[in-house]
């Protein structure tokens, strides 16, 4: 336990209150995992907590949560509470404080998340959380259907914990999800997106299949359901579009952007699929279509613009296979040199999730891209207009009038440099500029 948390608990106890570390931090510590954050649950009322510490923030005061700052580290301290009636499968209408720890543990979602610990009492485990932890089981505290009816997000959280911890969802809990999955439509997309990202960036992104089987993705990611049902009928592939997606995700780092790109890279395939006389499936246009679809999906899930633009761009170019140096430079210019290493990882993962047909030659193309990437970095090859050795002011100094023609000439200069990087020497480029601007002066 971090010393700040220890100090908070000891201070509360010294003033006649009960206090425990609770939830995720207890679970993760027992699993020898590093907790994301430490939460404290206490019998003290929020005002009493605030009176005991010099620096506190009213994080969720109406729900009894105060953030206590010690040595610049924040710890959420929440008063023991009972959640009242739930409205709309989302929010408790009101919360009531209680002086009974067991009551507080009862409102928590899963047995593995409903344990409390402090040094004076040891582990408080009212619902056999430790046993479920040992056996690797996600099980609701109390009646599953009731708990999911109170807050539908818990259904997706069950899948998330299975994915993060490599656990299985207990059978009754699973049945309840299957039955109540449509209710997740009532949960805000922001909360859904948080859990989705946690599933994708976990050690077991394949658990997204479970979210599909239980009927959850049908609500917030129906495009994935279609992919799971789309056969590829193609010599390059072994799996449905959905299974290929899952396999591809497993082959990239557990980082948000790249896992999102793998999730979305082929989702337009079902839409553009055609079948030839030999029965082979083809997917012309799936990259542009996929980029548009990725944008729509991520906007719907309220991701930020930077994420949306990066993902769409990488989806659009994920299947580019340039072999000639100028075509390679054009691709690097389109995605940005800084994104090339990520693109190499995407392409290799994509190949590993395909059949082994022509695998070696496919990898050779990626290796060639990587060699060119190194060269571009080493030689500081110009791949962006701003790195040209001539700029708009030079053209104006040569006699051009300010206006869109300047942009057009710059465009042509850039094109010449992409064709031949040697052209990006000031003398050479000025000479070319001279020829190009003649019609405009
Ligand atoms: P993480 O590692 O993501 O922080 P966590 O288990 O700590 O996982 P939080 O969302 O931080 O999850 O919530 C802290 C604790 O609050 C949980 O362990 C659980 O006891 C309780 N909790 C959180 N969300 C819910 C919910 N929707 N319904 C019931 N209890 C919840
Ligand atoms: Mg937490």
Query: In 322-432, where do the E strands start and end?
Result: none
Among 9-18, 62-71, 104-113, 270-279, the least confident range = 270-279
Q: Is 113 in the pocket of ligand 1 (CB under 6 A)?
A: yes
User: Tell me, what's the pLDDT at 232?
Assistant: 82
- Burial of residue 93 (CB within 10 Å: 0-12, 13-18, 19+) is exposed
Average per-residue pLDDT for the chain: 95
CB 239 within 8 A of CB 353: yes
Q: Average pLDDT in the 296-313 region?
A: 98
Distance of CA 207 to the CA centre of its chain: 14
Which-ligand-closest: CA of 38? 2
Q: Is 23 in the pocket of ligand 1 (CB under 6 A)?
A: yes
113 C-alpha to center of ligand 1: Å?
Answer: 7
Burial 373-384 (b: 16+ CB within 10 A, else e): beebeeeebbbe
Distance of alpha carbon 78 from alpha carbon 22, whole angstroms: 10
Name the residue of 21, 26, 113 whose CB sits within 8 Å of the most ligand 1 atoms, as the mutation to test its pocket: 113
Phi and psi torsions of 21, nearest 5°: -70, 145
Residue 260 has pLDDT above 70, yes or no: yes
Q: Is 195 in the pocket of ligand 1 (CB under 6 A)?
A: no
129, two tokens = 């959380």
259, two tokens = 């896992």
Distance of alpha carbon 312 from alpha carbon 263, whole angstroms: 12
| Apex 427 CA angle, 426 and 429, nearest 5 | 65
124 C-alpha to center of ligand 1: Å?
Answer: 17
Give the nearest ligand 1 atom to 150 CA.
Answer: 28
Residue 93 has pLDDT above 90, yes or no: no
Indicate the pairing of strand 281-282 with strand 168-169: unpaired
Distance of alpha carbon 200 from alpha carbon 261, whole angstroms: 11
DSSP states of 203-226: S-GGGHHHHHHTTSHHHH-HHHHH
439 falls in which pLDDT band (50, 70, 90)? confident
Structure confidence by residue, pLDDT tens digits, 165-218: 999 999 999 999 999 999 999 999 999 999 999 999 999 999 999 999 999 999
User: Tell me, what's the pLDDT at 280?
Assistant: 86
Indicate the pairing of strand 274-275 with strand 122-125: unpaired
Q: Average pLDDT in the 322-327 region?
A: 94
Give the nearest ligand 1 atom to 23 CA.
Answer: 18
Q: Is 147 in the pocket of ligand 1 (CB under 6 A)?
A: no
CB neighbour list of residue 72: distance below 8 Å, 6 or more residues apart:
none
pTM of the model: 0.93
DSSP states of 237-283: -SS-HHHHHHHHHHTS-S-HHHHHHHHHTTTTHHHH-EE-TTS-EE-
Q: Is 39 in the pocket of ligand 1 (CB under 6 A)?
A: yes
CB neighbour list of residue 406: distance below 8 Å, 6 or more residues apart:
392, 395, 396, 400
Residue 288 has pLDDT above 70, yes or no: yes
Q: Is 92 in the pocket of ligand 1 (CB under 6 A)?
A: no
User: Tell me, what's the pLDDT at 236?
Assistant: 87
45, two tokens = 């009322």
372 falls in which pLDDT band (50, 70, 90)? very high
* Tokens 């056969």, located at residue: 231
User: Tell me, what's the pLDDT at 88?
Assistant: 67
Give the nearest ligand 1 atom to 151 CA.
Answer: 27
Residue 89 has pLDDT above 70, yes or no: no
User: Tell me, what's the pLDDT at 234?
Assistant: 85
The residues facing 67 across adjacent strands are 57, 76
Which-ligand-closest: CA of 23? 1
Among 99-108, 279-288, 384-393, the least confident range = 279-288
Q: Average pLDDT in the 115-124 region?
A: 97
Look at ligand 1, atom 27, and give the residue with the nearest C-alpha: 154
Helix, strand, coil percentages for the chain (3-state, nearest 5): 60, 10, 30
DSSP code for 268: T
Residue 26 has pLDDT above 70, yes or no: yes
Q: Is 109 in the pocket of ligand 1 (CB under 6 A)?
A: yes
Which-ligand-closest: CA of 78? 1
Q: Is 163 in the pocket of ligand 1 (CB under 6 A)?
A: no
Query: In 326-418, where do the E strands start and end?
Result: none
How many residues would you count in the chain? 441
Phi and psi torsions of 237, nearest 5°: -125, 155
The residues facing 113 across adjacent strands are none
227 C-alpha to center of ligand 2: Å?
Answer: 33
Indicate the pairing of strand 39-42 with strand 19-22: antiparallel
Q: Average pLDDT in the 98-125 region?
A: 97
Q: Average pLDDT in the 27-52 region?
A: 96
111 C-alpha to center of ligand 1: Å?
Answer: 11
38 C-alpha to center of ligand 1: Å?
Answer: 11
Look at ligand 1, atom 17, and give the residue with the nearest C-alpha: 23
């Amino acid at each position: 336990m971090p010393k700040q948390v220890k100090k908070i608990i000891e201070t509360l106890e010294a003033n006649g209150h009960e206090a425990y570390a609770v939830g995720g931090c207890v679970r993760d510590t027992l699993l020898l995992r590093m907790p994301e954050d430490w939460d404290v649950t206490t019998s003290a009322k929020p005002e009493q907590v605030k009176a005991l510490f010099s620096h506190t923030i009213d994080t969720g005061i109406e729900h009894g949560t105060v953030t206590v700052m010690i040595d610049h580290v924040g710890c959420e301290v929440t008063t023991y509470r009972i959640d009242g009636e739930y409205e709309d499968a989302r929010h408790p209408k009101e919360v009531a404080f209680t002086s009974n720890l067991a009551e507080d543990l009862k409102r928590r979602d899963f047995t593995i998340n409903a344990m409390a610990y402090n040094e004076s009492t040891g582990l408080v485990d009212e619902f056999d959380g430790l046993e479920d932890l040992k056996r690797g089981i996600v099980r609701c505290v109390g009646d599953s259907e009731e708990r999911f009816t109170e807050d539908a997000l818990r259904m997706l959280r069950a899948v998330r914990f299975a994915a993060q911890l490599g656990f299985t969802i207990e059978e009754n809990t699973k049945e309840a999800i299957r039955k109540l999955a449509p209710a997740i439509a009532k949960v805000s997309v922001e909360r859904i997106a948080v859990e989705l990202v946690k599933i994708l960036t976990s050690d077991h992104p394949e658990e997204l299949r479970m979210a599909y089987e239980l009927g959850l993705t049908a609500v917030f990611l129906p495009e994935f359901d279609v992919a799971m049902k789309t056969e590829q009928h193609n010599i390059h592939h072994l799996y449905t579009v959905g299974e290929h997606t899952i396999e591809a995700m497993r082959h990239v780092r557990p980082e948000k952007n790249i896992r999102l790109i793998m999730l979305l890279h082929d989702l337009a395939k079902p839409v553009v699929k055609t079948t030839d006389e030999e029965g082979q499936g083809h997917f012309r246009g799936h990259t542009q279509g996929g980029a548009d679809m990725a944008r729509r999906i991520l906007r719907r899930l309220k991701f930020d613009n930077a994420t949306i633009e990066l993902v769409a761009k990488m989806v659009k170019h994920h299947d580019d296979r340039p072999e000639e140096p100028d075509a390679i430079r054009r691709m690097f210019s389109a995605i940005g040199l800084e994104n090339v290493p990520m693109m190499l990882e995407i392409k290799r993962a994509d190949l590993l999730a395909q059949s082994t047909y022509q695998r070696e030659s496919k990898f050779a193309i990626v290796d060639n891209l990587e060699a060119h990437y190194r060269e571009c970095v080493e030689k500081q090859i110009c791949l962006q207009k701003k790195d040209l050795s001539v700029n708009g002011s030079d053209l104006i100094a040569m006699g051009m009038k300010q206006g869109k023609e300047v942009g057009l000439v710059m465009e042509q200069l850039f094109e010449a440099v992409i064709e031949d990087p040697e052209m990006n020497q000031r003398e050479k480029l000025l000479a070319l500029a001279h020829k190009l601007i003649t019609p405009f002066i």
